[in-house]
Amino acid sequence: MNTRDLVLIALFAAIVVVLGLIPPITLGFIPVPITAQSMGVMLAGCIIGAKRGAFSFLLFILLVAIGLPVLSGGRGGLAVFAGPSGGFILGWSVAAFVTGLIAERFVHPGNSEARQFVGFFLASVIGGIVALYAIGVPWLSAVTGTPLMTAATGSLVFIPGDLLKAAIATLAARAVYAGYPLLPARA
């Protein structure tokens, strides 16, 4: 890994910290405000790619673990891993990796704009939602003893909000890809 990759990893982790500091976005048609930080996984995979995105989130998870209040709402510390949703936080790194793999595969500079949008959206949905829930939901079920099927159906409530995040992340990732592409230069 060269120094530039290391710096990109650190800068992206810092961006995710800042996304946790900015006020949550409220949209008229969804009652729950959306925290910008929860889009970080999708953004990391789509913008700096699989390997650097995964390392960036490992670094972010390290920041949480050593007691910095970097999660949105000023949360942090080892307690968040001991709680029921610890699996979602530990799963971020894998989710960023999966997002990055798909984005690297489907988005190329020569593609039409529409195809790039589709590629980023697919990557965000499969990595940032499917892969993340595949880790977080069984974890939650194992920790709390809630039957897996109940935990899975219960999580469906969050899917519309997550799809919206994927859409916003797609627009942002495509804007960055057009302005300052980093995805093709693999770590």
Partner 1 sequence: MLTSLYVEGQSWFHRVPVRLKLIALPVLSVALFTTDAPLLLLPAFLLCGALYLSLGMTARDAFSRVGFVLFTILVLAAVNLFLVPLPQVAALVLRLTTLVLFAAAVTATTTIGAFMDEITILLKPLERLGLLWAADVSLALGLVLRFVPDIFARYQAISEAHRARGLPIRPMTIIGPLIILTLKDADTIAAAIDARGFRRQ
Quick note: the x/- pattern for partner 1 over 19-58, rule CB under 8 A, is x-xx--x----------x--x---x---xx----------
148 forms part of the interface with partner 1 (CB under 8 A): no
Tokens of 179: 């302005």
CA angle 173-53-10, nearest 5°?
Answer: 105
4 forms part of the interface with partner 1 (CB under 8 A): yes
CA angle 158-16-142, nearest 5°?
Answer: 45
82 forms part of the interface with partner 1 (CB under 8 A): yes
Tokens of 133: 């829930």
Give one word for 49, left, alpha or beta, with left for phi > 0 and alpha for psi -120 to 50: left
Provide, rounded to whole angstroms, the least separation between the CB of residue 179 and partner 1: 5
Task: Tell me the Cα Rg of the chain.
Answer: 16
From residue 137, how far is each of 70, 86, 133, 147, 176 by CA, in Å? Answer: 23, 10, 5, 10, 31
Binding piece for partner 1, criterion CB under 8 A, among 89-97, 102-110, 131-139, 176-184: 176-184
Among 10, 30, 148, 159, binds partner 1 (CB under 8 A): 10
Compare residues 111 and 150 and give the one whose CB is closer to partner 1.
Answer: 150
Contact residues for partner 1, defined by CB under 8 A: 1-4, 6-15, 17-19, 21-22, 25, 36, 39, 43, 47-48, 59, 62-63, 65-70, 73, 75-85, 140, 143-147, 150, 154, 168, 171-172, 175-176, 179-180, 182
